Amino acid sequence: MSDFDKTLKELLSAEDEAYLAENMKENDFYGEVWGSLKGPSKGLYIMTWAGIMVFAGGLIFCVWKMFHVQTTRELIFFAAFAIMLNSAQIALKLWFNMRLNRQAIVTDIKRLQLAVAKISG
């Protein structure tokens, strides 16, 4: 631990320490995902994961259907839908991961704000 980290620990009050203990746990990816489903924006995250699952189901159906079609036109149709569903699923997953990163950054900024306020006060 660096001197800066030690100084920050000394300057934080018990309330600040409680906040950090609650929000600064190092979770693995799946821990963060499950934690996000309990937070203030849980409805949006649940909708996002429902969309990801619907797109995954549609993608699996389209790929399965591609192997059971009779004409080239149907093959192209299902292949195009599979590509679009895969792209939509990727977009939702990227958005979700960006939101997780945003939450981590906001927590770090809050920690720094607490430390700066304690130092200046």
Q: How many domains does the chain have?
A: 1
Report the alpha-carbon distance of residue 96 to residue 48 in Å, rounded.
Answer: 7
Residue 73 has pLDDT above 70, yes or no: yes
Average pLDDT over residues 88-98: 95
pTM to 2 decimal places: 0.69
Helices 72-120, 3-11: inter-axial angle, 10-degree rounding:
70
Give the domain extent around 80.
3-120
Residue 74 has pLDDT above 80, yes or no: yes
